[in-house]
C-alpha cells in the first residue's frame, strides 16, 4: 500500500512539474511607493492611503484624506479601532449586489456605508466565465482582451454612476474609504479619475495604480503557486489567465484613458462633461485635498 502511495505521489509530482513547465509566468509591474504611515488593518488586502504625492503644480496630496482597499469581509474587530482612529466615517462599496451578498463588509458602528456599483453581473456572467477558464476555453490573450474591454467600458458606459462616486469622494469633509473586491481595478480606475481631477500627471497616476501589485504581491504569488501545484486537477487551465486577472497592468489603465480621449477629446473634457466638474469647482477640490 505504501509503495502504491509513493508511486501515486511521484506521478502527481511529475505531472505537476510537467504542467508547470508549460506555463511561463510573467514579471508584474510594480510602482514606486510613497512614504506613508504604516497601517495595521488585519485581513484586508491592499489597504492604503493615497497621499504624499506631487501634482503638476507642485502641490502635495494631503495624507489621510483618501483611503482605498479590497473588500472588508474579513475586517477584524481589533481593526475597528484603527478605522475610527484614521477618522474614516464613510465607506463606498464599488462592488455589485452579487459580490456583496457573497462577502458583505464587516464594519464598525457609526460608519456610513454606501453601495455605488457601475455595473451588475447580469446572468451570472462571473460564474460562467470562471467555468470557461477551468475548462481551458479562455486563454491568456482572451483574458487580456476582457480586461482591456472592462476598463474601456467602466469609464464610459455608466457615466452617471462614475460621476456620483467621484463627486461623493471629492465632496467628503472627513476621510473616506472606497473599495471593490480586490481594490485594484474599479478602485484603481476611480482613484485615477480623482487624481486626474486634482491635476496629477499620467505618470504619477499610473504609478499609484501599479502600487496595487506591491501590496498584493504575496497574495497573488501564493495563488499562482497553488494553481501551478494543482494544475493536474485542471490541466486545461491557462495560468496566464490568472496572471492577467490578478495583476494590474499599465495597458489596462491606459485603455480607460485612451477611451476617454477617443470619446471626449481629452481628460479635461471628460472632467467637465461627464463628471460635471467646472474649472472653478476643480480648483476648489485642489485647494481642499492638496497643499
pLDDT at 4: 36
User: Rounded to an integer, what distance in angstroms lies between the CA atom of residue 80 and that of residue 33?
Assistant: 25
Check the CA dihedral 260-265-266-270 and report its sign.
negative
Helix (H) or strand (E) holding 203: helix 202-229
C-alpha to C-alpha distance for 233 and 209, rounded to whole angstroms:
34
DSSP state of 56: T
CA dihedral 268, 273, 276, 279 (to 10 degrees): 40
pLDDT tops 80 at residue 172: yes
pLDDT band at 153 (very low <50, low <70, confident <90, very high): very high
Q: Looking at the predicted structure, is the pLDDT value of residue 14 above 80?
A: no
pLDDT tens sequence across 37-64: 888 798 999 999 999 999 999 999 999 9
Summarize the confidence of residues 92-120 as an average pLDDT: 94
E-assigned strands of 144-279? 176-179
- pLDDT at 9 > cutoff 50: no
- Is residue 216 within 8 Å of 182, Cβ to Cβ? yes
Q: Model pTM?
A: 0.89
SS3 101: helix
Q: What is the mean pLDDT of residues 148-164?
A: 95
User: What's the whole-number mean pLDDT along residues 16-34?
Assistant: 69
Of 223 and 23, the one with more pLDDT: 223
- Rounded CA separation 252/149 (Å): 9
pLDDT-derived band at 18 (thresholds 50, 70, 90) equals: very low
Q: What is the mean pLDDT of residues 78-104?
A: 95
At 192-224, the pLDDT tens digits run: 999 999 999 999 999 999 999 999 999 999 999
Q: How confident is the model at residue 123 (pLDDT cuts 50, 70, 90)?
A: low
Assess whether pLDDT exceeds 90 at residue 82. Answer: yes
The pLDDT of residue 221: 95
Q: How much is the average pLDDT of 102-129?
A: 84
Rounded average pLDDT over 60-80: 96
Residue 11, pLDDT > 70, answer no
Q: What is the mean pLDDT of the chain?
A: 89
Joined grid coordinates for residue 163: 460621476
Which of the four pLDDT bands, split at 50, 70 and 90, describes residue 130? confident
Q: Give the per-residue pLDDT at 12.
A: 39
Helix axes 202-229, 250-264, angle to 10 degrees: 130
**pLDDT score at 23:** 54
Length of the chain, in residues? 291
Lowest mean pLDDT among 59-63, 124-128, 186-190, 274-278: 124-128
Distance separating alpha carbons of residues 119 and 96, to the nearest angstrom: 7
**CA-CA distance, 276 to 36, in Å (whole number)?**
31
The answer to whether residues 192 and 209 touch, using CB atoms and an 8 Å cutoff, is yes
pLDDT the model gives residue 20:
43
Say whether pLDDT at 232 is over 60: yes
Amino acid at each position: 500500500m505504501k509503495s502504491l502511495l509513493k508511486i501515486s505521489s511521484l506521478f502527481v509530482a511529475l505531472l505537476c512539474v510537467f504542467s508547470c513547465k508549460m506555463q511561463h509566468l510573467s514579471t508584474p509591474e510594480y510602482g514606486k511607493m510613497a512614504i506613508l504611515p504604516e497601517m495595521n488593518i488585519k485581513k484586508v488586502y491592499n489597504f492604503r492611503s493615497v497621499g504624499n504625492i506631487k501634482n503638476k503644480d507642485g502641490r502635495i496630496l494631503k495624507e489621510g484624506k483618501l483611503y482605498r482597499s479590497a473588500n472588508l469581509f474579513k475586517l477584524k474587530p481589533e481593526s475597528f479601532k484603527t478605522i475610527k482612529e484614521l477618522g474614516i466615517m464613510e465607506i463606498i462599496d464599488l462592488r455589485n449586489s452579487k459580490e456583496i451578498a457573497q462577502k458583505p463588509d464587516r464594519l464598525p458602528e457609526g460608519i456610513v456605508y454606501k453601495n455605488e456599483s457601475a455595473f451588475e453581473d447580469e446572468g451570472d456572467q462571473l460564474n460562467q466565465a470562471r467555468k470557461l477558464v477551468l475548462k481551458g476555453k479562455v486563454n491568456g490573450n482572451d483574458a487580456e482582451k476582457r480586461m482591456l474591454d472592462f476598463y474601456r467600458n467602466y469609464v464610459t458606459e455608466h457615466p452617471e454612476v462614475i460621476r456620483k462616486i467621484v463627486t461623493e469622494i471629492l465632496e467628503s469633509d472627513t476621510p473616506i474609504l472606497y473599495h471593490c473586491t480586490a481594490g485594484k481595478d474599479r478602485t484603481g480606475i476611480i482613484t485615477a479619475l480623482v487624481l486626474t481631477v486634482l491635476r496629477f500627471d499620467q505618470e504619477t497616476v499610473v504609478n499609484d495604480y501599479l502600487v496595487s501589485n506591491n501590496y498584493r504581491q504575496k497574495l497573488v504569488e501564493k495563488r499562482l503557486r497553488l494553481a501551478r501545484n494543482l494544475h493536474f486537477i485542471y490541466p486545461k487551465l491557462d495560468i496566464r489567465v490568472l496572471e492577467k486577472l490578478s495583476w494590474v497592468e499599465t495597458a489596462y489603465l491606459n485603455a480607460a484613458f485612451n477611451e476617454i480621449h477617443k470619446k471626449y477629446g481629452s481628460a479635461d473634457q471628460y472632467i467637465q462633461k461627464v463628471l460635471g466638474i467646472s474649472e472653478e469647482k476643480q480648483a476648489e477640490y485642489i485647494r481642499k485635498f492638496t497643499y
